[in-house]
Chain A
Amino acid sequence: MNETPLIPAGVKRCSKWQFSLWMGAVTAVLIWGIYAMFLIWYKGLNQTNMNDAYGFALWIWADLAVIALGGGAFFSGFLTYIIGKDDLKNIINFAVIIGFICYSSALLILAIDIGQPLRGWFIFWHANVHSMLTEVAFCLSCYFAVLTIEFIPLILENPRLAKKPFLHHLSHNMHGVMAVFAATGVFLSFFHQGSLGGVAGVLYGRPFAYREHVFIWPWTFFLFTWSAAACGPCFTILVTWMTEKITRKKLVKQEVIWLFAKISGWMIITYITAKTIDTLYWALVTAPSKGFTLMDFYSSPTYNIGLLFIEIVLCGFVPGLILITRRGRENSFFLMSAVILAVIGVSLNRWVMVLQVMAVPLFSFNDWYTYMPSWQEVATTVLPVAYGLIVISLAYRYLPVFPQEQELNPID
């Protein structure tokens, strides 16, 4: 059996044994995660270290973080198909794959977290229409369907599949209506990213999270959507860079990366300015109105004021300023530093809005609540990383993911 027809024409891939070795190593990690997942499904949520204080824990942070990092897919779709930034067509395939991995991981983590996945459909059938999380579940599922639809044409471009006339036409026609799916994806993402932020912002009884609002939407609703659109592209750039390092090839022209980084930079700067105003208003007006001072929320050795500085200045203004300046983004070291800081920044924001909210004492006689995840929680959180590596490896090997790869790496 000759494998060559499965690999796209005009590109070079590693040998079968090298690929198998890599896949074997990643699959071992995947199996570890699957074992932990089955332990949780079989024995129950007592396998975790969640407690009365921490109903939301490592999984929900991972969920929110991957959803924010997967925001590169909807934002690049918006820029390409709706704004008309055609240059981004050279990276959008990869952004869609990353989005697909992030959202399928988020759904997988939720399936573990609900304890009884066989009852997962209850959220649709017996929907609680007063819960922001119901809206998140709706939008998340629908957007995952959109990402799958966006991924399918790329899969159909595999040389062996493209030979089938129906699949060839289907791929072409799906490309033709992709703008509709992209617009739907933007609509869905706006609401589920926002509602994830809204969940924290409406917690009237937890002044650390509570924010002022417009109608029913607290400011965190808008900040979450904004931060996902701002930092999602940075994650796409980061994973592209890692793929280039591993494959030892240039896969996307630097001009495309710079354009994506510049847009991301402006989004980060505007987001972090809004976040700063929101934080100042909360610290000076909202929290005092509930009887708290800013430092009441940062009195723990773990959750100290340094976290706020790291999130807003080090992982907010610094990467934003680097990316909006030509010299900053065109210097490889600064570009990648900014991208990594932005990814850490948005992940830290989700950590603070999930876990610090849970850690703040609810009663005057309580100390800060503590939590350390069990190995089962860690393994099931690492599981999506291994799964993501497998999907990216298979996609890169068998699909024409990067339209500029042939031009940048001509085969003699």
Chain B
Amino acid sequence: MFPFCFEWAWDMSHMVFMGGLWYALSIIGAGLTFAIVKSIMDMKSHDEKDHGHH
């Protein structure tokens, strides 16, 4: 899974398999991070607007 695992080899099979896995995990992670960060920002801006009205 990682180059520091003892059975790792820098061959095509490892690069294709693990590259594909990390590529998919990166997209999923990036999408999820974007949604969470944007929600925090949206919530803060919403709070600020509420305070502005008072």
A residues within 8 Å of B by Cβ?
124-127, 129-130, 134-135, 138-139, 142, 145-146, 149, 165-166, 169-170, 172-174, 176-177, 180-181, 184, 187-188, 191
Contact = CB atoms under 8 A, between A and B. Distances in A.
A180 B24 contact: no
A331 B39 CA distance: 46
A353 to B, nearest CB: 24
Interface string B12-25: 01101110110011
Which 7 residue pairs of A and B lie closest in terms of their CB atoms, listed nearest first? A169-B39, A129-B13, A170-B39, A173-B35, A169-B42, A129-B17, A174-B35
Interface residues of B, number: 26
A194 to B, nearest CB: 13
Contacts of B28: 142, 145-146, 149, 181, 184
Contacts of A181: 28, 31
Interface of B: 1, 5, 7, 13-14, 16-18, 20-21, 24-25, 27-28, 31-32, 34-36, 38-40, 42-43, 46-47
Most buried by B among A125, A129, A134, A176: A129
A130 B39 CA distance: 42
Given A125-B1, A176-B35, A165 B24 contact: no
A59 to B, nearest CB: 25
Most buried by A among B7, B21, B34: B21
Contacts of A169: 38-39, 42-43, 46
Given A181-B28, A188-B24, A170 B36 contact: yes
B44 to A, nearest CB: 10
A170 B21 contact: no
Most buried by B among A130, A149, A173: A173
A180 B43 contact: no
Most buried by A among B5, B25, B35: B35
B32 to A, nearest CB: 6
A145 B29 CA distance: 10
Given A124-B1, A125-B1, A149-B32, 13 more contacts: A126-B1, A130-B13, A146-B28, A149-B31, A166-B40, A166-B43, A169-B46, A170-B35, A173-B42, A174-B35, A180-B27, A184-B27, A184-B28
